């Protein structure tokens, strides 16, 4: 497979003819409901043969296929990289031999949707964390989910279902709630026991702990709580996973509650939420800029076993009204809908080489200017390359219900998904 960047004047029909790939297949792989593509748009072409085009260079083909020069040359020993002829067929080598245990999040919806969506995503999933259960200050679980079908469908399709336990309350993620439970030994033990009961009684294969905004003063207590959970789960061989915010330093005040080293010693897998460097309440910018993701990985591998690390990616971006005003937060938009928005507004998509992220601007029906940053096949492929470069476990996403049609194709290009 390779990525083609749409040029001015291109049509889907012309691109289809150029690479001898059926137009319906290009539409299907990229989730295109219309054919009004725009300049700068990245299309995933599901072929393992590349046809040389006018102006192509060997380096350019390497970039579009996401393989190394050495790999491409080995697959095409008779071709001189310095002498390319238009129409030459270049074999794209398979690099999917990297075995990876993926983990992503899924928001429980209804039985029919759960059955369909989980079955659809199952071939590309090792574990799915079902979102989400809440707890009270005394450690009691305070809500119920109609998760039976989601759990059964996961096991049926050789996917490990994980129960996600969060410190969400009516106001959002609550550092105060986490603080209250962590500092009360009775409540803390009660929560540990309730998590075990939840996993055991509902038929889950393990747990995902998603406590956000943990205070620095609760750092050791939080790690100790995770140790309690792990000991409780171990006897029944349940999986212990966690979601943690991205860290590049121990000097970031609001992230000091997360001891990567201590947490990494306890859990089976650590899902790093490598996104929201720009968010609804910030100025416009890349949600997951590549250098920040790289710095996060380098910080993590100094403290955590590499094969425990799963790099979380967002299946969403943000749409900011311009000029930016702090009082007017951006609205979230799925990556797929961001592409559709660009196409509907015939907005040229640009790509930041520094952030390795796409963005575009458009004018809405009221004459208001907007700037949208999101993830596409290029930016996600760059992050998949980082996982391989640093020999990590895998990638994961928040969250599957947002959808990104090309995502499974990218996953299959870079990885072989481990199944239970």
Would you call 121 exposed, middle or buried from its count of C-beta atoms within 10 A (0-12, 13-18, 19+)? buried
Same domain, 73 and 181: no
Whether pLDDT at 420 is above 90: no
Looking at the structure, do residues 114 and 81 belong to the same domain, yes or no? no
- Among the three residues 55, 75, 91, which one is the final residue of a domain in this structure? 91
Please check whether residues 127 and 210 belong to one and the same domain.
yes
Domains identified in the chain, total number? 2
In this structure, are residues 262 and 270 in contact, taking their beta carbons and an 8 Å threshold?
no
Do both 22 and 148 map to the same domain? no
Same domain, residue pair 127 and 153 = yes
- Mean per-residue pLDDT, 98-116: 96
pLDDT given at position 202: 97
Q: Judge contact between 130 and 163, C-beta under 8 A.
A: yes
CATH number at residue 58: 3.10.350.10
Q: What percent of the chain has pLDDT over 90?
A: 99
Whether residues 42 and 123 fall in one domain? no
| 353 located within any domain | no
Q: Which residues contact 155 (CB under 8 A, 6 or more apart)?
A: 161, 203, 205
pLDDT band at 106 (very low <50, low <70, confident <90, very high): very high
Residue 78 has pLDDT above 90, yes or no: yes
Average pLDDT for residues 164-179, to the nearest whole number?
96
- In whole angstroms, give the CA distance from residue 268 to residue 290: 25
Distant-in-sequence contacts of 63-67, Cβ < 8 A, 24+ apart: 64/2, 64/3, 64/4, 65/1, 65/2, 65/3, 65/92, 66/2, 66/3, 66/95, 66/381, 66/384, 66/385, 66/413, 66/414, 67/92, 67/93, 67/95
Do 124 and 192 fall into the same domain? yes
Among 91, 116, 150, the domain-final residue is: 91
43 pLDDT exceeds 90?
yes
The pLDDT score that the predictor gives to residue 385 is 97
> Pick from 33, 68, 91: which residue ends a domain?
91
Tokens of 91: 């074999």
Average pLDDT across the chain, whole number:
97
At residue 417, does pLDDT exceed 90?
A: yes
Q: What is the pLDDT of residue 44?
A: 98
Is 176 inside any structural domain? yes
Q: Give the domain extent around 128.
A: 99-314+377-417
Residue 117 confidence (pLDDT): 95
In a domain, 172, yes or no: yes
Q: Which of 112, 152, 212, 227 is catalytic?
A: 212
H-run or E-run covering 18: helix 12-19
Clarify whether residues 117 and 199 are in a common domain: yes
In three-state secondary structure terms, 174 is coil
Task: Give this prediction's pTM.
Answer: 0.95
Give yes or no: 212 in active site. Answer: yes
Same domain, 128 and 197: yes
The answer to whether the beta carbons of residues 138 and 177 sit under 8 Å apart is: no
Distance CA 385, CA 388 (A): 5
Dump pLDDT digits (tens) for 209-227: 999 999 999 999 999 999 9
Instruction: Let me know if residue 156 belongs to a domain.
Output: yes
Average pLDDT over every residue of 9-14: 96
Residues 201 and 145 in one domain: yes
Looking at residue 185, its pLDDT comes to 98
49 with 127, same domain?
no
């Amino acid at each position: 497979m390779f990525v083609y960047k749409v040029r001015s004047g291109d049509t889907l029909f012309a691109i289809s003819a150029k690479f001898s790939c059926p137009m319906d297949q290009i539409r299907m792989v990229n989730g295109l409901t219309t054919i009004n593509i725009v300049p700068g748009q990245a299309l995933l072409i599901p072929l393992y043969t590349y046809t040389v085009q006018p102006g192509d260079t060997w380096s350019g083909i390497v970039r579009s296929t996401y393989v190394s020069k050495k790999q491409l040359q080995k697959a095409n020993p008779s071709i001189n990289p310095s002498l390319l002829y238009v129409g030459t067929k270049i074999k794209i080598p398979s690099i999917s031999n990297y075995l990876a245990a993926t983990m992503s999040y899924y928001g429980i919806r209804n039985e029919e949707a759960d059955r369909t969506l989980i079955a659809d995503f199952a071939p590309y999933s090792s574990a799915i964390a079902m979102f989400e259960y809440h707890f009270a200050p005394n450690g009691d679980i305070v809500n119920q989910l109609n998760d039976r079908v989601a759990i059964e469908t996961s096991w049926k399709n050789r996917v490990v279902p994980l129960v996600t336990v969060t410190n969400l309350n009516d106001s959002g993620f609550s550092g105060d709630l986490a603080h209250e439970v962590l500092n009360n030994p009775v409540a803390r033990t009660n929560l540990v026991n309730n998590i075990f009961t939840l996993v055991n009684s509902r038929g889950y294969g393990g747990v995902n702990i998603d406590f956000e905004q943990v205070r620095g003063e609760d750092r050791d207590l939080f790690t100790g709580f995770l140790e309690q959970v792990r000991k409780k789960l171990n006897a029944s061989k349940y999986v212990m996973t966690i979601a943690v915010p991205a860290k590049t330093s121990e000097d970031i005040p609001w992230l000091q509650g997360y001891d990567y080293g201590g947490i990494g010693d306890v859990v089976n897998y650590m899902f790093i939420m490598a996104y929201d460097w720009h968010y609804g309440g910030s100025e416009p910018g890349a949600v997951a800029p590549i250098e920040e993701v790289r710095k996060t990985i380098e910080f993590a591998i100094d403290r955590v076993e590499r094969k425990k690390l799963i790099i979380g990616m967002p299946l969403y971006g943000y749409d900011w009204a311009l000029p930016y005003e702090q009082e007017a937060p951006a609205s979230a938009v799925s990556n797929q809908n961001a592409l559709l928005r660009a196409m509907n507004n015939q907005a040229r998509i640009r790509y930041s080489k520094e952030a390795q992220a796409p963005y575009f601007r458009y004018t809405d029906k009221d004459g208001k200017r907007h700037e949208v940053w999101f993830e596409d096949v290029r930016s996600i492929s760059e992050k998949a390359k980082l996982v391989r470069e640093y020999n990590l476990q895998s990638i994961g996403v928040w969250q599957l219900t947002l959808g990104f049609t090309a995502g499974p194709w990218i996953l299959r290009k870079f990885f072989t998904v481990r199944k239970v």
